[in-house]
Structure 1
Amino acid sequence: MAAAVTSPLRAFLHAESAGGIVLVIAAASALVWANSPAADGYAQFWQQKVTLGGGQARVTHDLRHWVNDGLMVLFFFVIGLEIKRELVVGELRDRRAATLPALAAVGGVVLPALLYLAVVGEGEAGRGWGIPMATDIAFAVGVLALLGRRASTGAKLFLLSVAIVDDILAIGVIAVFYTDRISLGWLAGAVAGLLVAVGMRRLGVNSPWAYVPVGVLVWFATLESGVHATLAGVALGLLTPARPVAERNVLDDLERSLHPVSAFLVIPIFALANAGVDLRGGVLANAFGQPVTWAIIIGLVVGKIIGIGGVTYLVRWLNWGALPAGMHHREVLGAAALGGIGFTVSLFITDLAFTDAALIGQAKVGILTASAVAALAGAVLLLTAPAGTGVTTTPSASNEDRSEN
């Protein structure tokens, strides 16, 4: 059982850390492109219209929109798979082990949002309160990989668990608060497609290819319903069986196949399409004079450290949960700081929250700045903390608790 759980986790961390490096390269390339003599070409390239389908199923969007609403479905499908695995056979399956990262993630979501609103107030700018809620797993784990043995395996597991719960909360926020209109007919069609997938699963259909047409129909119906189309990917991922079916581990097979595609293709393309902010002509100086930029920086950096770190210490003090094995308590703040790297999902929510180009630019400057500061702060805190030598259970934890963990 231990090997069945830790082997996929190690493979995930390895691919995620390498994907984080590719993500940094893609984001840097977007910034260079958007601020080079070819900057006009950057804007024109991502704004060109692309039409898919025909007749009533004909859909036309610009290329950036297709990346955000189409290609990112695969990314959210993989997130759905990761969430399902952690809930059924992973760290989050055990109530005591799941309590601490779950509550820490809630603290790391609620406080950044409140700090954001405290800085910008209401109005159109206030719609961006969801931006500093997110944690970018690829970026954060990539920083941990660069630290090598200076960051314990327990710290990596803690950060991964917090980020997964964070993703669950962010997905809920996108579904509830960033959906402008809902077509009940199309939404019913999406639900019907999901029920077809459930029926196929109960009939014993375990070939992933058989579900592709159903998945496409669910995605299209979700897109037309007004609910963000990427949520179709999450729903389909959560429907994937986490335990073996006919002696085949479908979830692990899909993760092994799709995770590299998501990490090395989908996310870098998303970063290339969305991270290109034109900082010339005083744009950067102007952004740092705007409340939206500082609200995001404060939310992601200060909010995550206090939210995740403060709740973690409170939960341990109340004896409601324990840190993962091998994690020193002084690593908590470093992991919490890395939770402030909100790159991918933060950029994603920015596109949903704002339509004003100025606000979008300010938000992106805030996200890029906060992610860099959070990465540096997390690295420094982890380098100065003793790794892998901490007590992993609370003082009053029973021997039974220790043996179960």
Structure 2
Amino acid sequence: MAARKIVRKIIIDPLKVFIHDSRSIGIILLLATLLSLILSNIPGFSNGYIRFFQLSIDGTQEHAFVWGPFHLPNSILVVINDLLMAAFFFLAGMEIKRELVTGELASMKQSILPVAAAIGGMIVPALIYTQFNRGSEFTSGWAIPMATDIAFTLGIASLLGNRVPVALKVFITALAIIDDLGAIVVIALFYGSQLKLFYLLLSGLIMLILLSLQKNKVKIGWYTWILGLLLWYTIFNSGIHATVAGVLFAFTIPVNKLPELEIKFHVPVYFMIMPVFALANTAIVFPESGIGALNNSFSAGIIAGLFIGKPLGICLACFWMIKKKWAQLPNHTNWHQMIGAGILAGIGFTMSIFISMLAFSEITTQDIAKLAVLVSSVFSMLIGYAWMAIKK
């Protein structure tokens, strides 16, 4: 009995505190990224580490392998990015639905400023990237600098304590959630493959069944999760990126069940799936030229889009809405803090890396894009933190 108390006091209780600390998600992701970068650049080990995630079931480079009548993920990387990340999008979808129905996005008055800020924060980075890469082979990466990493951004904001007012944290959260929704729409529309009508029709049928269950207030049971898995499978084979299934499934969950499921999915998604995603997708071999590999319009477009375009788009949109008296600054917030929030929103990380993987098939191009995302995200973290730390 005494041993149990000691274990609880030394291990279990501190672990619980760490897990429920908003800063811990960013710390875990950062550590996983650093570990992956180190392992990827150890001579004699890096090749095996990188190849591990690319191991395929049938020995080919195809996205899916055929098992009887089924087409399933063909590599560890595809399992992580298409199946496990669907759980991340499911959690994000539940957060979006909750905010739209009962949260900060439930009314026009509450939502208009973060909605405008998110739109500005997506359009301006995409335009900046496009200007850097107009007419080049890299034009398909225009969506890479559009995304904000909600975990890292809120983690840095939490480190600042009361220098970030509660109302501003709510604004950042709402902005990041809308940003996620925008990224999901972009992925669905622009980064899928050739559409397959049969699987699209099956996906629609499953959605109708799930929505009917929700409308008739049928209790969530094992059959709900089976239908969710079937929805993922049909979308995986439809030509739309499979992670979209997570969001669609989330929107069929009854509102009163959202808080309970968000709590259940929080730990496995943020402390298991996201670190694995970071390990698999930041397995980057540093080029011999070092930072010189980023001396091109492709990298410059990503870095400028995230580090400059994000705060510029967010602040311009907010300034316009407030000038027109269609919205007002969050309570106890000034323009200095709003600019800081815009800089922090330039932390792209998870979603930007994810879009990089979808936008380009060449490993070298993906690696350069990921490095550019990492560099710009670090800039945004450091400069955003320093800016917000200056009290005005």
Q: Compute the displacement of 1:19 (Å).
A: 1.2
| Higher mean displacement: 216-225 or 321-330 | 321-330
Partner of 1:289: 295
Q: Which digits, 9 at most, give the CA deviation of each residue in 1:173-199, with x for residues without a partner?
A: 111111221001101111111111112
Of residues 57, 74, 88, the one that matches 1:75 is 88
Give the structure 2 partner of residue 85 of structure 1: 98
Deviation string 1:265-287 (CA, Å, 9 cap, x unpaired) is: 111111110012111422x3342
- Counterpart mapping for 1:282-361 below 5 A: 282=289, 284-361=290-367
The residue that corresponds to 1:135 in the other structure is: 148
Name 2:372's counterpart in structure 1.
Answer: 366
Counterpart of 1:45?
A: 52
Kindly state the Cα deviation for residue 327 of structure 1 after the two structures are TM-superposed: 2.6
Give the counterpart of 2:244 among 231, 236, 246: 231
Task: Return closer, same or farther for 1:50/1:328 CA change in 2, 3 Å cut-off.
Answer: farther
Q: What SS class does the counterpart of residue 59 from structure 1 fall into?
A: strand
Q: CA, structure 1 residues 26+208, in 2 after alignment: closer, same or farther (shift >3 Å)?
A: farther
Per the alignment, residue 117 of structure 2 pairs with: 104
Distance 1:122 1:250 in 2: 48
Which of 168, 178, 191 aligns to 2:204? It is 191
> 1:237 Cα shift?
0.8
Measured after TM superposition, the shift of residue 202 of structure 1 is: 2.8
Structure 1 residue 208: Cα displacement: 4.8
Aligned 1:162-201 pairs, distance under 5 A: 162-201=175-214
Does the Cα contact within 8 Å between 1:206 and 1:250 map onto a contact in 2? no
C-alpha distance in structure 2 between counterparts of 1:213 and 1:203, whole Å: 18
Pick from 219, 239, 261 the counterpart of residue 254 of structure 1: 261
Q: Quickly say closer, same or farther: Cα 1:108–1:14, change in 2 above 3 A.
A: farther
AA aligned to 2:70 is: A
Greater Cα offset, 114-123 or 182-191: 114-123
The answer as to 2:30 corresponding to 1:24 is: yes
One of 139, 145, 149 as aligned partner of 2:158: 145
Preserved contact between residue 287 and residue 293 of structure 2 (Cα < 8 Å): no
- Of the three residues 236, 254, 267, the one matched with 2:274 is 267
- SS of the equivalent of 1:320 reads coil
Q: From the superposition, tell whether residues 60 and 96 of structure 1 become closer, same or farther in structure 2 (CA, over 3 Å).
A: closer
Helix, strand or coil for the counterpart of 2:152? helix
Distance 2:334 2:248 in 1: 36
2:197 maps to a residue whose letter is: L
For residues 251 and 206 of structure 1, the distance between their equivalents in structure 2, rounded to whole angstroms, comes to 13
Alignment match, 2:40: 34
Q: Tell me, what secondary structure is at the counterpart of 2:237?
A: helix
Shift of residue 14 of structure 1? 5.0
Structure 1 residue ranges without an equivalent (≥5): 1-10, 243-248, 387-405
Q: Does 1:59 align with 2:66?
A: no
Q: What residue is the counterpart of 2:139 in the other structure? A: 126
The Cα RMSD (Å) is 1.8
**Partner Cα distance (1:227, 1:199) in 2:** 23
Question: Which 10-residue stretch deviates more, 29-38 or 211-220?
Answer: 29-38
Q: Report if aligned partners of 2:148, 2:351 keep a CA contact under 8 Å in 1.
A: yes
- 1:53/1:205 Cα in 2 relative to 1: closer, same or farther (>3 Å)? farther
The Cα shift of 1:322 comes to 2.1
Q: Which amino acid aligns with 2:282?
A: A
Gaps of 5+ in 2: 1-16, 59-64
Q: Is the 8 A contact 1:80 1:235 kept in 2?
A: yes
Q: Is the 8 A contact 2:71 2:237 kept in 1?
A: no
How far did 1:92 drift? 0.7
How many correspondences in the alignment? 368
1:277-316 Cα shifts (integer Å, max 9, x gaps): 111422x334222211111000001001110112112211
TM-score of the aligned structures, taking structure 2 as reference length: 0.90
What amino acid is the match of 1:267? Answer: M
Work out whether residues 113 and 328 of structure 2, in 8 Å CA contact, stay in contact via their aligned partners in 1: yes
1:222 aligns with 2:235: yes
- The alpha-carbon distance between structure 1 residues 187 and 384, as it changes in their structure 2 partners (threshold 3 A), is same
Calculate percent identity across the aligned residue pairs: 36
User: 2:36–2:283: 8 Å Cα contact kept in structure 1?
Assistant: yes
What letter matches 1:79 in structure 2?
A: A
Cα shift readout 1:314-350 (whole Å, capped 9, x = no counterpart):
2111111123333333210110001100000101101
- Aligned counterparts of 2:232 and 2:78: Cα–Cα separation in 1: 14
Cα 1:55–1:78 change in 2 (3 A) is same
Q: Kindly indicate whether residue 285 of structure 2 is the aligned counterpart of residue 278 of structure 1.
A: yes
SS at match of 1:91: coil
Q: 3-state DSSP class of the match of 2:74?
A: strand
TM-score (norm 1): 0.87
Contact 1:26 1:272 in 2 (8 A): yes
Give me the whole-angstrom Cα distance separating, in 2, the residues matched to 1:15 and 1:189.
41
> What does residue 5 of structure 1 align with?
none
Q: Secondary structure of 1:204's partner?
A: coil
Corresponding residue for residue 8 of structure 2: none
| d(CA) in 1 for partners of 2:98, 2:291 | 44
